[in-house]
Structure formats: structure tokens, C-alpha cells
A and B are shown apart, each in its own frame.
Chain A
Amino acid sequence: MTRSCTIGVVLSLWAQWALAAGIKVPKIVQAGQAISINTEGNGEGHLYIVGPGGALEKTVQIGTEVLIEPDEISNAGRYTVFLITSTSTEASDFDVVSSPEVSSLSFLARPSRLPVSLRDGIGGVAFVFDTYHNLVLQSHSVHFQLTLPNTAPEIRTVESHLGVAWVQMDSSAHAGNASFEATVGKGTSLRILEQVPADACQLRMSARPVGGRLHVQTEPLRDCTGNLVADGTIVTFTEIYDGNRSTVDAPLKNGIAQADIPANKGAVITVAAGEVLGNQLRWNGGQ
């Protein structure tokens, strides 16, 4: 009786050992490559791969190599492999890393509109991705280029860290639409930033009679750095005559605002743009 019990126990232990499974997985795999998992032991089992990047399940013959196709697991991240048989459970981890080749990038450029000559006024942030839209955590050189029409581009190169590269640049002294581009590998992205002039520095107008009315017109309106004030800026002409008032809000076009107002002899005409006041005229009927 004792002998048969002992034999039974030994046989059962041997059976368990015989059926116990083992797995060997590569520690790191690149996204887009097949994953080879070696299983040890015999019998049948279930292989599970789970992680925040993916999940799959396969029924496998223990003792054979299991091949995971590239499109089954392509998101970068930490995965856990479970091999489960009727008698044992084995687990191991592996990482899928992004492919080193940059395929695309997300480019944040702010602000979309800023004054000229502003130190560190422009900020650009680039997030670098591979073909499977994994953040490329390896360092890459990211080129940031800021270009205004008729001016030489300004280029900065920054090394990405954990998939992010950022830069701060000054806005130029010239107003206009600047193109701001980020490039790394095959990835490129373009943004448009508007560099706007400041308020008018000096406002002057003139008047001349035209067909029974008075045509008033400003000189080209510039800011203190010489840029033409933004087109569309409203300039208000006011005429005061005999207790009455006439006003017209005229938009700037190519830096000049103009309007036709009644030609009243003795009228006083003033001009303003925002908080900037211009010169004053008195119309004396042809003078």
C-alpha cells in the first residue's frame, strides 16, 4: 500500500514536471517586426499577450516556436506574455519600441498672431512619430524654420527628448504672414503665423474738394518701426460744422484711409485711429 502510494505520488510529480511549460521571449522588439516566442515543454496550451498596446490569444503546441506577425502587435509599449496549460502558468514581459525612422510629426505653433519684434514670441513644439504612430523616444534632430516673404529664413535645430522637441524664436521686425515649418526625417508640418504691426505712430490727413464734396485722405499709416498699419484698421474722420457733426469710419487699404464728407465752409475736420489722434484741418472753402 505504501509503495503504491509512493509510486503514485512520484508518477504524478513526474507528470506535472513533464507537462510544465516555459517561455522565452525577446526583451525588446521593434514595431513592425515579427515576434518569435519559444515555448518549452509538451502538450497544448494557451498563449496570451496583453498590454495597453494590444491583446491576443492563441492556442499553441508547447515545445514549438510561436510567431507573432508584425501587424498583430505594432503599438509600442510593455506587454506581458502568459503561457497557460492545465498544470502550469508562465509569464514574461517584453517591450515593443518604436521604429527609429520618423514618419510623421504633430506640430504645435503658437500664437497664430503676434506683434512684430517680440522676443521669444513664437513657440513651436513637435511630437515625433513612427509609421505606427508610436512616439519615437529615441533622440532625433528636429529642424524648425521661420520664413517671412523676401527675408532669409531663420533655422533652429533641436534634439528631441522622449519624442518631444521645442523651440522659442523672436518675431521679426517685418509685418506679414510667416511660415513656420518643423521637419524631421520624413515628417514635416507647416503653420502660418501672422506678425502684425503695432499701432500707428503718426497720423496725418489732407483734404481736397471733389465734385461739391470734400475728399479726405490719410498719409500711409505706419507703426514706429516703419511697418504699414494692418489693412482694415478703422480710421474715423469727424467734421464739425455749425453745431452739427458728420462722421465716417473708413478702413485702411494699403495703409491709406479715405472718405468723402460734406464740404462746409468753416468746418473743422479731425482724424483718429484707435487711440491715436491725427492732425486737425479747417476747411475754408478751397483752402
Chain B
Amino acid sequence: MNRGSLLALLIGAMTVGLVIIGTIWPVHTAQAMAGTGYSFNGSSGPQSAVTNLLAQVGSRDWNAAYGRLANRSEFSEADFIRDLNGGYPSLRTYATLADFSIQPLHILDNEGNFRVNLRWSSVVGVFQESRDLRVTKENGQWEVVWPIVAEQRVPPQVIPVNYLRWDVIYRGAGDDWAAQNVESPHVRIIDMRPIDRGNGVSILGEILNEDTVPAFVTVKSTLIGKNNQLLGTEDSFDKISHILLPKQVSPFRIDFPNVALSQVDSVKMQPSSSLIAASADPVIEIENQKISGAPNSSLTGELRNESGQIVNITHVIGTFYDNRGQLLWVGDSYENRALLPNLPAPFSVNVPVDIADKVATFRVVTSSYSSSTL
């Protein structure tokens, strides 16, 4: 038997073995999520009550989850769903509960407290949520008291929206060759700095739309090594505000894992821009921005949507500078709830601890995604 066949056989055997182990001794959250549940006569213990509830939330069995709540008379099932799922389409609406952990705080004969950490998986990554849950024992059964968070609602009204909008007319199949498309917007990288971060290199920078029309921008970067060898090519991906209105500046960050700055001889930057239909709405004010130091160094503040349009997903990008105005870091976060007109919502962008101490000034920008069909 040759080496290839032997390797294939070994991998196959290991796979089968792991499947058997996972079936016989499953991880408890996976078991709960798979719906095998815990067998209980009612809920057999306080922690089981919490686990079962979260398992039902994870599988979106709202009716069953709501039925387990001790305080369900205080709010409707729809309120419960809105609390977890978001009342308006947002990241939360399409997120799945990837994992949860339960930490008992204290347990007595008839009541207990647990801290649960929920990890939601969304298209832009994972966001976490912590809740403190109280459990009570009624008629021999443990039930969870759900700490409902009433989502803010915008009262029905008409809000005139008259911000500028751009539409683009492109050349069509019937157009003569000389009818060229309108030129792409002129954009320019106004700042760039490569830094060593952990086990990789990050390229930090800022890009300006110096044109009078909106631009869809991306930035690609190529690292060239000392012997002219190509170390890697990466894109800014979502660490940039892609739609730039005239004279707007966006930070960007391009990450190269497993590369050391000492290997890099030169960096080639390729900004690209294209025309896009865009709206100057919504205008989002970023209030009370402040940076806090260790241990949980972060940039916090509040977002206020000054327009009439509901923003389904808000992306917050922070740029951090030292006292010489040099770029230190670009960090970002996504808000998992919709941003409603004129209702402030908090945000937080993590800042690496070693960088937070050096930050002298910072700038925050937002980009937003709104869709009635989201």
C-alpha cells in the first residue's frame, strides 16, 4: 500500500472515531443546540432550566422558550422575540446563537442567579452579549425570570427626508463606442503606515475622495520582500468605509497574518474607486466620544441618527493617532441593533491595551446600511 492510500485510510479512521466520540460524549451546548435536550421531569435543576431555555432560543423555538419563562405574564411573546431578535431588521435578526456559557452566581433552595454569555454569529463576525438571569422554583419546577429589555420604538409619523441623492447613468449596449462612461471618482491615499501587530503586519491608512461625486472605494496592498519576492496581497475588506461622499475621508486597515515587518522591503498600495448611486442620508452624529484605558480599553460614545431613515446596520470605525498625529491603530465594530431616528444608541470599539496608552487623539466615522428588504 503506498503512502497516499495509507494517509487517506488514517484520516478516514480518525474521522469515524471522532464522530463516534462526539455522539457518545457530546459537548453539552452542542447537545442542547441539537435539540437532544436534557431529559427532565420539568427542569431537573436550575442550570438545566437555563440551558434548556437558551437551547430553545438558539433553535428559534420562541414559543417553547417563552413557555418556560416565570414572568411571561409581564410581556408578550412578541416582546420576548423583539428583545432577542431585534424589532427592526438588523444584524441580530439574521444572527444565530453560536454558543453560550453559564456561570452560576449563587443558588439557593428556591432561587438562583446565573450570568450567561451569549455568542451570536453574524455575517460580519461574532458579537457577544451578557445577561444576568434569575431562576425560581414554582411547584417543583425551575423557571427562568427573563430580564426583558424593551426596545425603543419610533412612533408612527412622517419625517421628510430631503438629503441629496446621486444616480448614475451608464452607457448602454446601444451607445456608440465614443459615448464613454463618466470618469471614475478621483481618490487619494493621504496617510499610510505599516505596523507590526502580534503575528502579522497591518497597513493603516486614510483615503480621501477628492472628487465631487460619491465613490465606492477599496484599497489593496501588496508586500514585497527583501529579495523582491511577493509576501502577500490583501484587501481592506470591511475595515474601511466603502462609500465616500465628496471630500470625505475613511480610514482603512489591511491585515497580513504571518508576516513580520522586518521581512518587508516595500509596500505597494492600489486604491480603486468606481461611481456609485448614493445618498447623503442618513446623517449620523457621534456624541460623547471618549477613550477609556485598561483593562477594557475602548472608544465609546453614542450614535444618533439625525435623519428619518432607519439604519439597519451601523459600522463604526475609529482612527487613533499619537501626539505627533501619526496613525496608531484603526479599529471597528458593528452595532447589532437597528439605529432608529433620533434615538441615541451606545457603541464601543475595542482598542488594543498597548495602543490605548499612546492615543492622543482619535476620529470616528460611520457607514450605514439600510434596506427595506433586509
Contact = CB atoms under 8 A, between A and B. Distances in A.
B245 A245 contact: no
B41 interface: no
A110 interface: yes
Interface in A237-287: 243-251, 253, 259-262, 273-274
B310 to A, nearest CB: 18
B179 A191 contact: yes
B286 A107 contact: no
Given A253-B164, A274-B247, A262 B365 contact: no
Contacts, number: 100
A250 B283 contact: yes
Interface size bracket, B side = 35 or more
B77 interface: no
B211 interface: yes
A260 B306 contact: yes
Interface stretch (B227-235, B258-266, B287-295): B287-295
B288 A232 contact: no
A249 B244 CA distance: 11
A248 to B, nearest CB: 4
A190 B301 CA distance: 51
A273 B247 contact: yes
Nearest to A248: B285
A167 to B, nearest CB: 14
A244 B288 contact: yes
Nearest to B181: A112
B325 to A, nearest CB: 14
Contact of B283 (A106, A111, A259): A259
B289 A248 contact: no
A35 interface: no
Given A106-B176, A230-B246, A246 B164 contact: no
A57 interface: no
A199 B179 CA distance: 29
B214 A247 contact: no
Interface in B195-223: 208, 210-214
Interface in B159-211: 162-164, 166, 176-183, 208, 210-211
Contact of B247 (A194, A233, A259): A233
Summarize A's interface: helix, strand, loop or mixed.
strand
A234 interface: yes
Interface size bracket, A side = 35 or more
A248 B283 contact: yes
B31 interface: no
A234 B212 contact: no
Contacts of A246: 285-289, 301
Nearest to A273: B247
Contacts of A262: 287-288
Contact of B306 (A111, A112, A125, A259): A259
A113 B289 CA distance: 38
Nearest to A124: B178
Nearest to A250: B283
Nearest to B169: A192
Interface in A170-211: 189, 191, 194, 196-197
B280 interface: yes
B284 interface: yes
Interface string A107-129: 11011110000000000010100
A121 to B, nearest CB: 13
Contacts of B364: 247
A111 B247 contact: no
Contacts of B183: 111-113
A112 B179 CA distance: 10
A109 to B, nearest CB: 8
B162 to A, nearest CB: 8
A230 B246 CA distance: 8
Interface string B290-318: 10000000000100001000000000000
Nearest to B210: A274
B248 A249 contact: yes
Interface of A: 106-108, 110-113, 125, 127, 189, 191, 194, 196-197, 230-234, 243-251, 253, 259-262, 273-274
Interface of B: 162-164, 166, 176-183, 208, 210-214, 245-248, 280, 283-290, 301, 306, 363-365
Given A125-B178, A189-B176, A262-B287, 15 more contacts: A106-B177, A106-B178, A107-B176, A113-B213, A127-B178, A189-B178, A232-B214, A233-B246, A234-B246, A244-B288, A244-B289, A244-B290, A247-B363, A253-B162, A273-B247
